[in-house]
Structure 1
Amino acid sequence: MCHDCVAGRRTAGASRRSFARFLAAGAGLTVLAACTPVAPETVAPSSSPVPAVTSASGVPAVESTTAAAAPSAQVPVSPSAAAALPRQFSLTDPASPWVVVNKHRPLSPADYAPADLVRPNVNLAVSGEAALLNSPTAAAAETMFAAAAQDGVVMTLASGYRSYGTQVVTYNGYVAARGQADADTASARPGYSEHQTGWALDIGDGGGACGFDSCFADQPAAVWAKANGHRFGFVVRYPLMFHPITGYYYEPWHLRYIGVEAATDMANRGIVTLEEYFGVEAAPGYA
């Protein structure tokens, strides 16, 4: 993970590089991006369909901004900013595009597996289950990757779906190598990973430059995704210096699909975490 200080960045980069071989052997994954659940549901669930992906020209690009200093870990629960949107979705159902998964909000059931996993027609840097996404996310990714390519930006799918079983193996490997306390800063516990929902993906630049390290934030793929991802329903799930809220350090490669309406609303309002947007409590550590 990418820390927000020089020492943290060195530690995070070294730990990721030292563990790359283990992750690749686990399930064809290059890396393990952290993801996990948070507090009570504040937006009413709905059976409405997932918002459709709009064209690349439908919404002007707006780059999200981050705070100048890290927010307090004691972030109060605030009213949901998403309540103003015409369509509402569950924050707890893993099949919902708005499900909030973090260190306070585990998946239910813990071994959830999407019923609609597909392989998107995009540049792949992985194989097996890691090359899969749920169908709405896959469709949105195809549109986004194509738009990036039109702008001359190469983007690859570096990690997609990760099953509960794969997370068990990966997390246990971290614990064995580094101890549980340190493992919890780098890997989600089984049943607490966004990747298990099929709504999340890690991107690469096609050449492996700064892959899964803090310097990836300066690569064209990351810069483009941060500025344009909302046009296709994606947000950077773990923004810089917001780990006291999300529970994870900066991951400019980790994108989360929440639908075009919500992602664009977040960008327009300058809200950068799902916890704040959906009005649920911060999750800096496991409850």
Structure 2
Amino acid sequence: MCQDCGPPSRRSFARFLAAGTGLTVLTACTPEAPKAGTPSSAVPPASTSPSASPTAARATVAARPAPSPTKAAAGKPSRFSLTDPTSPWLIVNKHRPLAPADFAPADLVRPAVATTASGEAALLNSTTAAAAEAMFAAAAADGVALVLASGYRSFAAQTATYNSHVAARGQADADTASARPGYSEHQTGWAFDIADGGGACGFQPCFADQPTAVWVKANGHRFGFVVRYPWMFHPITGYYYEPWHLRYVGVEAASDMLQKGVHTLEEYFGAGAAPGYA
């Protein structure tokens, strides 16, 4: 979700999309807020394997009412949790908050990649950081400059950001511009936003046509990444297209999604759509 997209460009994006859909805009734009929070949880070895087999995790969430399985998710035995924030298959959306809400990864590190972010926003969990380093290096070898624009965002930072939106425009409108605290993928360390070396179309719809976004969309799966909020899948993900927002799920899961033509984690793991807060 975007770190620093200013109100004019985001509102333009919202008007552009809403004009054709008649839907309320549900963006994930959450500018970086002051640093806060201390990591407190560890990532189990099983959840940090980039090449873990993409077997569905439905049996690990028995406490939650299970939705009807999708074709992509059916028939897969359980491997990773969809609710444990240390799991690469964690699903965070407007129906599925983090538990605990103030979760912070214990293994946050600063990846050795080009970045415009500073402080906590330049951090990722160790598994995502290693995969990002490999992906950025491969892109550079192909002549494509990837830049880390926004990584980890603590619960405190997300709270400050969200509350500033509520104070400025009311909660209903704030929910179209900022993820609520405890509902942001950035808090997990599994997700980050990218930009290109020249900063072209940063956090704008036109970024999808930049060489950086084109390369990542075609090659991200090789390193375990998916574009988390794809074009025209906002009724499922709850967020409009963000070609800059990448999410680590592991090489085999990301590759399996591509092979099967499944675009969202909600569909792949049969977790159900989350267009708005439950």
TM-score of the superposed pair, with normalisation by structure 1: 0.77
Q: Which structure ranks higher in relative contact order (CA pairs < 8 Å, sequence separation ≥ 6)? A: 1
1:282 aligns with 2:273: yes
Change (3 A) 1:151 1:112: same
Amino acid at match of 2:16: V
Q: How far 1:85 sits from its partner (Å)? A: 6.0
Give the corresponding residue for 1:164. 155
Q: How far 1:200 sits from its partner (Å)? A: 0.2
Aligned-partner Cα distance in 1 for 2:129–2:51:
11
Q: How far 1:207 sits from its partner (Å)? A: 1.8
- Partner SS state of residue 204, structure 1: strand
Aligned-partner Cα distance in 1 for 2:159–2:14:
28
16, 23, 31: which is aligned to 1:23?
31
Identical residues among aligned pairs (%): 69
Change (3 A) 1:180 1:5: closer
Give the corresponding residue for 2:49. 51
Cα offsets for 1:172-192 (capped at 9, x unmatched):
111222221122122110000
* Structure 1: stretches of 5+ with no match in the other structure: 10-14, 29-45, 55-75
CA contact (8 A) 1:235 1:256 kept: yes
Aligned-partner Cα distance in 2 for 1:271–1:107:
24
Change (3 A) 1:236 1:183: same
Aligned-partner Cα distance in 1 for 2:88–2:81:
8
- Residues 217-232 of structure 1 aligned to structure 2 (within 5 Å): 217-232=208-223
TM-score of the superposed pair, with normalisation by structure 2: 0.79
Q: How far 1:50 sits from its partner (Å)? A: 2.7
CA contact (8 A) 1:125 1:206 kept: no
* Structure 2: stretches of 5+ with no match in the other structure: 1-9, 20-24, 36-43, 53-66
Aligned-partner Cα distance in 2 for 1:231–1:85:
21
CA contact (8 A) 1:235 1:257 kept: yes
1:233 aligns with 2:236: no
Give the corresponding residue for 1:63. none
Amino acid at match of 1:98: W
How many residues matched?
239
177, 180, 186: which is aligned to 1:189?
180
Change (3 A) 1:100 1:216: same
CA contact (8 A) 2:72 2:260 kept: no
- Partner SS state of residue 142, structure 1: helix
Aligned-partner Cα distance in 2 for 1:99–1:253:
19
Cα offsets for 1:148-181 (capped at 9, x unmatched):
1111101100000000000001111112222211
Runs of 4+ in structure 1 over 2 Å off:
1-9, 46-54, 76-87
Aligned-partner Cα distance in 1 for 2:68–2:101:
25
Q: How far 1:209 sits from its partner (Å)? A: 1.1
Aligned-partner Cα distance in 2 for 1:84–1:225:
29
**CA RMSD across the alignment:** 2.7
Amino acid at match of 1:6: F
Give the corresponding residue for 2:251. 260
- Partner SS state of residue 135, structure 2: helix
